[in-house]
Structure 1
Amino acid sequence: MYLTIEDNVADLLGEPRKCLYRCQKYIYGLPDAGKAFYELYREHLKCHGYISTISDPCLFVKHINNDVIYIWIHVDDTYVCGTNKCVVDEFFRILRLKFDITTKQEVDSYIGIKHERLANGDLKLTQPKLLKKLFQTWEVTESTKDSYPSKQYISDKVVREPVDRIMYLTLLGGLIYVLKTRPDIGFAVSYAATKSTSPDTIDWLELKTILHYLYNTQNYGLILECLEKGADLVMTASVDASYLTYQDSKSQTSFSLKFGASGSY
């Protein structure tokens, strides 16, 4: 990577002005920096027997006798779980061979998603910080009667006028990220996305309805149910198809995956 520096910085460093400099290290925050760190991290893990999965190159797994360890990396944040404390400690030892690390035994959040272990062993995933930011940004401060994520507005009571597309897309993007832990708004958000080309006042009200619904149901989250010891993790797949539903397309298909008794994806 090459860059130029300001004249006053060059003077401060005692370097000539108007020169092109080659970086010896990646600058934090640039896309190339994250990629380079991932490649360095990946090679270190591979050298010690940790294998990246085909479905997710950021998820690594290693089987050690009857134990297994899973490592999920997000740039320099790492989430680790294993069937035995020894395999986790060994992973930390291997990391310290190359990196300076800090560890946390009990993880209550990761990349913005809060983890809450319920009394029955189930795991509840929520995004309270993101929701709070959305409520503050769009000035949602009190409960409404919106008990569902979608509502039909009567067009003769609301004048249909164009609204700011950037504003619409900004809120839509935030709601799409909330989908990670709130699949119950999936249909409403998907439908709202079809209006993103030229949204009007009714489209905006329907999008805000989703936000009001989230405000009224802040305690909801994605529940991952705990299996009984020794029970198999069963995946159930469902497929739906429809034909000639719309004039501009011939067919639509959809599918859902369900692990155990937990929510569908």
Structure 2
Amino acid sequence: TVRVILALAMQKKWGMDQLDVKNAFLNGHLEEEVYMSMPPGYAQSGKCCHLKKALYGLKQSPRAWFERLRVVMKTNGYKQGNGDHTLFIKQRSDLVSILLVYVDDMIVTGNDEEEKRKMKERLATEFDLKDLGKLRYFMGIEIARSETGLVMSQRKYTLDLLKETGKLGCRPFLTLMESGTKISIKTGNILDEEGKGQYQRLVGKLIYLTLTRPDITYVVNVLSQFMHAPTDCHWKSAERVLGYLKNNPGKGLLYTRQDKLNIEGYFDADWAGCTDTRRSTTRYCIFLGGNLVVWRRKRHEVCSRSSAEAEYKAVAMEVTEMLWLKILLADIGIEIKEKMKMYCDNKSAINLANNPVLHDRTKHVEIDRHFIGERIDSKELIIPYMKSEDQIADVLTKALCTSQFEKNVSKLGMFDIYAKLEGEC
């Protein structure tokens, strides 16, 4: 949702501000009766404290804080988004004001400057609020904006990770893996408990880095499958990821203003790609107005009997994501009139979607068949054919050669504003 809002703000030329609520969880009102022991220095025999408000450490605190915020926003005329309940919107004819909440951090955007000012004043009367000014740093994401574009990166987070792991001076790599490399649970020797803990912490931090780095999604997703029993080979693969990050720690997503706002997706499936379970893997990426806002790589829960079946399951997964994106945009008052496009490199899957005849090998995917068919019949969705060598989603599925990898990464809209210009000293 954060990436969608940033892409919209760039497209519509909306200003973006950031707010922070101090001690947010202390603002929640408890609905249940909660008692606690007397704090040190105030202990009295046979007595305890009856809490009226939430405290940090209570499992009810996050819910109580958000419920208090929700009531305040609805009282001031804001509606809660159907696509994301942490999104609050207020519309007045062609003017819109938006508040996006993540725990105690908030993004304020929209073209209704007067309403945004009033909202800040109302929130300041209810909570201990700090206005941080223009949006520059949110959830560990650095945001640099100009008149022509916006770049999201996690450069500081990356450099801190390299420093923590002692890899600031390591050898840089141009790719994450050698082309054609397959990682299995059976390769290598299992790490000891200390090594296992280090591996789990490293992969966990790399997962957070994928918020702005779709180029490392494939390898991080594969490495996360071995968290329960990592080996020395898995650890070497994780170290190579650090070497790749060392090569360009400031790389991030570039959002630019386009002529039209449409939804396009690219999807593919790696049929029986998992060497341990022979399950297929779906990967897809979705662009809003030419800017990448959603990407995912997910292993199927059951095995597919053909590549067409695997691709067809991938279609169903991406359609649900696209429909969610349309719901989110509709909440904000933006209607996408143009048909959604999903580019596929498998002609069998395209033919099955456009001419849903029940074949012997596809009887068990009948629900997906009806789901996709309804969208095509309603003229919401079209599935054009794309050559395999032009499929952008390949970078989310397998290890590619250097030239193909760099080509696909550039098509994802990734850019390094910290990179030196050619010929610069």
Cα deviation, 1:215-256, whole Å, max 9, x if unaligned, reads 2111211112223xxx43211023324545558356443332
Aligned amino acid, residue 197 of structure 1: H
CA spacing shift, 1:106–1:145, aligned 2, 3 Å:
closer
Cα deviation, 1:134-177, whole Å, max 9, x if unaligned, reads 11221112151311122478x9xxx9322222221110000000
As a proportion of its length, which structure holds more helix? 2
Q: Map 1:65-84 to 2 at 5 A.
A: 65-84=93-112
Identify the residue that residue 80 of structure 2 maps to in structure 1. Answer: 52
Structure 1 vs Structure 2 CA RMSD: 2.6
1:191 aligns with 2:222: yes
Cα deviation, 1:186-206, whole Å, max 9, x if unaligned, reads 111112122223211111010
Of 139, 143, 148 in structure 2, the residue corresponding to residue 121 of structure 1 is: 148
CA spacing shift, 1:250–1:213, aligned 2, 3 Å:
closer
Of 270, 285, 288 in structure 2, the residue corresponding to residue 256 of structure 1 is: 285
Residue identity (%)? 23
Aligned amino acid, residue 148 of structure 1: T
Identify the residue that residue 135 of structure 1 maps to in structure 2. Answer: 162
Query: 1:212 Cα shift?
Result: 1.7
Length, aligned pairs only? 253
Cα deviation, 1:92-143, whole Å, max 9, x if unaligned, reads 133234223221331211121111014x521111123322331122111215
User: In structure 2, the residue corresponding to 1:61 is in which secondary structure?
Assistant: strand
Q: Distance in 1 between matches of 2:235 and 2:152?
A: 28
Aligned amino acid, residue 3 of structure 1: M
Q: Map 1:89-168 to 2 at 5 A.
A: 89-118=117-146, 120-151=147-178, 160-163=188-191, 164-168=195-199
User: In structure 2, the residue corresponding to 1:104 is in which secondary structure?
Assistant: strand
Identify the residue that residue 2 of structure 1 maps to in structure 2. Answer: 35
Cα deviation, 1:22-70, whole Å, max 9, x if unaligned, reads 2222113544222211100011101222112122111111111211111
Identify the residue that residue 248 of structure 2 maps to in structure 1. Answer: 217
Between the two structures, name the one with larger relative contact order (CA 8 Å, sep ≥ 6): 2
Identify the residue that residue 234 of structure 2 maps to in structure 1. Answer: 203
Aligned amino acid, residue 5 of structure 1: M
1:234 aligns with 2:266: no
User: In structure 1, the residue corresponding to 2:97 is in which secondary structure?
Assistant: strand
1:179 aligns with 2:206: no
Identify the residue that residue 35 of structure 1 maps to in structure 2. Answer: 63
Q: Distance in 1 between matches of 2:37 and 2:202?
A: 37
User: In structure 2, the residue corresponding to 1:73 is in which secondary structure?
Assistant: strand
Which deviates more from structure 2 when the two are superposed, residues 84-93 or residues 184-193?
84-93
Alpha-carbon contact 2:154-2:250 (below 8 Å) kept: no
Aligned amino acid, residue 4 of structure 1: S
CA spacing shift, 1:250–1:147, aligned 2, 3 Å:
closer
Structure 1: unaligned runs, 5 residues or longer? none
Query: 1:3 Cα shift?
Result: 1.8
Cα deviation, 1:10-30, whole Å, max 9, x if unaligned, reads xx33x5135432222211354
User: In structure 1, the residue corresponding to 2:148 is in which secondary structure?
Assistant: coil
CA spacing shift, 1:145–1:135, aligned 2, 3 Å:
closer
Q: Distance in 2 between matches of 1:245 and 1:147?
A: 24
Structure 2: unaligned runs, 5 residues or longer? 1-33, 296-425
Alpha-carbon contact 1:26-1:33 (below 8 Å) kept: yes
